[in-house]
Amino acid sequence: MAPMQLLTTIQSLFRDGFYILRNEGILSFFSTVLRIIGLNYQGISYYIIYFYKQHLHFHQRMAEPFTVIKVNPKKIQSTAPGNIDRWKHIGEVRSGNWDQSNKSLNELIKYRSVVDRFQNDVAWENTEIYSTAIERVSEGEVYWNGCRTINDIEQRAKSIEDLYASIQESGFKSQSELQGRSVKSIVLSGSFDRSKTDIAVAISRNGDFLFIDGNHRLAISHVLELDEIPVRIVVRHSEWQNLREEVMNANSKEELSERAKSNINHPDIAETVPDSWVTEQSDE
């Protein structure tokens, strides 16, 4: 770039930056600057929250926030509490009874509707999610992953048809596989989109997987009867995290408690130990 052209570009950036700062505020200005240099304000904010909790709140243990493991989708049948956010709460370890108040996947309108479409051959127009979306949009609401118009609803249905066909033909791929980079780099990149995520789960005190987000993908994996899918762990129960730490801190399998030994094949534990510790017969 020629010197004069570079100077003009810099002047334009300063002018636009001052306008945004004056009219839209510091957060909008900061977001714009990050976007220009190839980063994402929202993604960075999630990571900063995690980093702050991990390093400054010593009373609150955290787990690695971007873990993606392979599990049998049949092991995911219940939901986590609705107040767990797939990004804001990454890496949290929670005590209490939050893992006991879950409900069946069939209580979720998106899940039910995708199963109806692909397993029961119900036309999209006759599914519950489609008719509800039509009603909500006609009342001026934004619904079903950002739909604002009937055309948006039609395009949303088509995108799920395409997703089903892609998974059926090419298998179920994680976001890292699709984008060719780690979850962390995806979150911090300028192209981060919080709506594009792997199936997000929490893990209960007993190691049960509780669904958080990814209705369409999970329903498709159930309909196709897949043996294995990638999921991202958002929150773990403190009792389960204690068990993981017991296993990770052990020098040999013989040191483990009987409960730890019985969970050695669990996907959230098996990847943290030597292969020789894992038995041939997996409980997954």
User: Nearest Cα to 98, choosing from 257, 263, 239?
Assistant: 239
Write down the mean pLDDT value for the chain.
83
At residue 67, the pLDDT reads 81
Q: Distance between the two ends of the chain, CA-based, in angstroms?
A: 57
At residue 58, the pLDDT reads 47
Least confident of 127-131, 174-178, 210-214, 229-233: 174-178
At residue 21, the pLDDT reads 45
At residue 246, the pLDDT reads 93
Contacts of 118 (CB under 8 A, 6+ apart): 164, 219, 220, 223
Reduce the DSSP state of residue 94 to 3 states and report it.
strand
When pLDDT is cut at 50, 70 and 90, the band that residue 17 belongs to is: very low
- Tokens standing for residue 265: 């094949």
- Tokens standing for residue 151: 């055309």
- Domains of the chain: which residue ranges? 8-55, 68-277
Pairing of strands 92-94, 229-237: parallel
When pLDDT is cut at 50, 70 and 90, the band that residue 108 belongs to is: very high
Q: Does the structure show a pLDDT above 70 at 147?
A: yes
At residue 284, the pLDDT reads 45
- Please, how many CA atoms are within 13 Å of residue 20, restricted to the half-sphere of its CB? 14
At residue 186, the pLDDT reads 79
Across-strand partners of 143? 147
When pLDDT is cut at 50, 70 and 90, the band that residue 196 belongs to is: confident
pTM of the model: 0.81
Instruction: Give helix 150-170 / helix 109-118 axis angle, nearest 10°.
Output: 60
Reduce the DSSP state of residue 162 to 3 states and report it.
helix
Q: pLDDT digits over 163-190, tens only?
A: 999 999 999 999 999 988 888 887 777 6
Whether the CB-CB separation of 184 and 78 falls below 8 Å is answered with: no
* Residue 105 DSSP code: G
At residue 62, the pLDDT reads 62
Q: How many CB atoms lie within 10 A of CB 223?
A: 19
At residue 156, the pLDDT reads 96
* CA dihedral (15, 16, 20, 21) positive or negative: negative
Reduce the DSSP state of residue 229 to 3 states and report it.
strand
At residue 40, the pLDDT reads 58
Which residue intervals of the chain are DSSP H helices? 3-24, 26-36, 41-55, 109-118, 128-138, 150-170, 175-179, 183-188, 215-223, 238-249, 258-262, 267-270
Reduce the DSSP state of residue 138 to 3 states and report it.
helix
- Bigger pLDDT: 197 vs 235: 235
